[in-house]
């Protein structure tokens, strides 16, 4: 039987996220394995790995907030916006003060427009932009609205600035580092990055590849997995008896939380569990019908 669950993996700096996934596949011998949010090769930190049907909750993790610890080097600009790229410009940053950086950071908090890097996994006419960039092709890029909830300087050792960033989906920390450098007039690039948290998963609780390999050799690696509903813990939950559990698992609408009907919003999501505690499905509220429609079923009931 295929394994289902989520591994809170601590990715080391160096390999790509897909290289890490391939190594996990080789170690566990599981076929259906994916990751919940790419980390660039220079980055370390939380890289959730999804097994089996748990991958169906991946979209809800990708939409969650992330926390990063970044190191920005002032005075040097690269083509990839990080330390993996070629240097394209140098300027003397010696005149930049801590107060200058603090003032610059203020304009990058809240809802901001950010231009994605040319070297990114976004697609243009069916091709990854990093592939086109490596081939020397210019691609049109449009700024995107992203959310930066927290941006603080935690270290100042010129020309290095340490930043803690809490942000929403779609934020490129490389672009943030570059844009801060432009605002300071000296240029900058991202020289190190650690993802400290994504959704409920924290770096301090992460499992290294070495620890995973040791657990595989001992035969108990599945004990490292979190259940699929871990990334849905922010949603309300309902427990149902057998007849309703069977109906929901067959795609039928159900009258959950009828006493709250007037306060529920159309499209609201809810987790559904059987009376013995098994996670059955994710359902969505249909206000016009006053019923809950199954969105994804995880444990069919006979």
pLDDT in tens, 40-74: 999 999 999 999 999 999 999 988 999 999 999 99
**Which of 72, 60, 146, 70 shows the shortest CA–CA distance to 111?**
146
Among residues 40, 82, 179, 229, which one is catalytic? 40
Inform me whether the pLDDT recorded for 116 exceeds 90. Answer: no
Are 240 and 135 contained in the same domain?
Answer: no
Are 209 and 177 contained in the same domain?
Answer: no
Q: Among 140-144, 277-281, 286-290, whose mean pLDDT is lowest?
A: 140-144
pTM of the model: 0.89
**Which of 138, 107, 119, 142 shows the shortest CA–CA distance to 190?**
119
Are 89 and 181 contained in the same domain?
Answer: yes
84 assigned to some structural domain:
yes
Give the residue with greater pLDDT, 155 vs 288. Answer: 155
Residue 255: its pLDDT value, please? 87
The mean per-residue pLDDT over the stretch 207-232 comes to: 96
Inform me whether the pLDDT recorded for 89 exceeds 90. Answer: yes
First to last CA, the chain: 18
302 assigned to some structural domain:
no
Are 164 and 223 contained in the same domain?
Answer: no
Residue 140: its pLDDT value, please? 63
What H or E segment, with its residue span, contains residue 5? strand 5-11
| Per-residue tokens: 256 | 């959950």
Inform me whether the pLDDT recorded for 133 exceeds 50. Answer: no
> How do strand 269-274 and strand 237-240 relate by DSSP bridges?
parallel
What H or E segment, with its residue span, contains residue 296? strand 291-297
pLDDT digit string, tens, across residues 4-14: 999 999 999 99
Residue 62: its pLDDT value, please? 87
Give the residue with greater pLDDT, 249 vs 104. Answer: 104
Work out the pLDDT band at 124, boundaries 50, 70, 90.
very low
159 assigned to some structural domain:
yes
Helices (H) and strands (E) in the chain, counts: 7, 17
Q: Among 89-93, 96-100, 239-243, 264-268, whose mean pLDDT is lowest?
A: 264-268
Residues 6+ apart with CB under 8 A from 289: 253
Q: Which of 174, 198, 222 is the C-terminal boundary of a domain?
A: 198
Give the residue with greater pLDDT, 63 vs 136. Answer: 63
- Give the residues across from 163 on adjacent strands: 70, 153
Are 56 and 97 contained in the same domain?
Answer: no
C-alpha to C-alpha distance for 227 and 56, rounded to whole angstroms: 12
Are 112 and 16 contained in the same domain?
Answer: no
246 assigned to some structural domain:
yes
C-alpha to C-alpha distance for 249 and 155, rounded to whole angstroms: 52
Are 275 and 171 contained in the same domain?
Answer: no
C-alpha to C-alpha distance for 185 and 92, rounded to whole angstroms: 10
Residue 259: its pLDDT value, please? 47
Are 154 and 33 contained in the same domain?
Answer: no
| Per-residue tokens: 214 | 């040791």
Are 179 and 256 contained in the same domain?
Answer: no
CATH of the domain at 246: 2.30.130.10
Are 86 and 181 contained in the same domain?
Answer: yes
Inform me whether the pLDDT recorded for 161 exceeds 80. Answer: yes
Are 210 and 259 contained in the same domain?
Answer: no
Instruction: Look at the chain and report how many structural domains it folds into.
Output: 3
Q: Tell me if residue 79 is catalytic.
A: no
185 assigned to some structural domain:
yes
pLDDT digit string, tens, across residues 21-38: 999 999 999 999 999 988
CATH of the domain at 103: 3.30.2350.10
**C-alpha neighbours within 13 Å on the C-beta side of residue 192:** 10
Domain with 293, as residue range(s), is 235-297
Residue 132: its pLDDT value, please? 44
């Amino acid at each position: 039987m295929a394994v289902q669950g989520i591994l809170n993996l601590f990715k080391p700096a160096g390999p790509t996220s897909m290289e890490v996934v391939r190594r996990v596949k080789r170690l566990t011998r599981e076929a259906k394995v994916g990751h919940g949010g790419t980390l660039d090769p220079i980055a370390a930190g939380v890289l959730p790995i999804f097994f089996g049907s748990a991958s169906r909750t991946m979209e809800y993790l990708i939409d969650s907030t992330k926390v990063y610890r970044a190191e920005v080097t002032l005075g040097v600009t690269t083509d990839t916006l990080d330390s993996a790229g070629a240097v394209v410009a140098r300027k003397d940053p010696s005149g930049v003060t801590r107060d200058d950086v603090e003032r610059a950071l203020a304009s990058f908090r809240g809802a901001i427009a950010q231009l994605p890097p040319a070297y990114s996994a976004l697609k243009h006419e069916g091709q990854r932009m990093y592939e086109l960039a490596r081939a020397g092709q210019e691609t049109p890029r449009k700024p995107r609205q992203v959310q930066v909830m927290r941006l603080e300087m935690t270290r100042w050792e010129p020309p290095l600035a340490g930043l803690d960033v809490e942000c929403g989906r779609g934020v490129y920390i490389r672009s943030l580092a570059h844009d801060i450098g432009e605002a300071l007039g000296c240029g900058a690039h991202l020289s190190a990055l650690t993802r400290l948290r994504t959704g409920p998963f924290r770096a301090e609780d992460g499992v290294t590849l070495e620890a995973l390999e040791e657990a595989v050799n001992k035969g108990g690696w599945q004990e490292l997995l979190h259940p699929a509903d871990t990334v849905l813990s922010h949603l309300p939950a309902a427990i149902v008896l057998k007849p309703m559990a069977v109906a929901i698992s067959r795609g039928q609408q159900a009258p959950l939380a009828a006493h709250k009907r007037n306060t529920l919003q159309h499209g609201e999501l809810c987790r559904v569990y059987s009376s013995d505690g098994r996670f059955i499905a994710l359902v969505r509220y249909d206000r016009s019908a006053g019923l809950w429609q199954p969105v994804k079923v995880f444990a069919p009931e006979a």
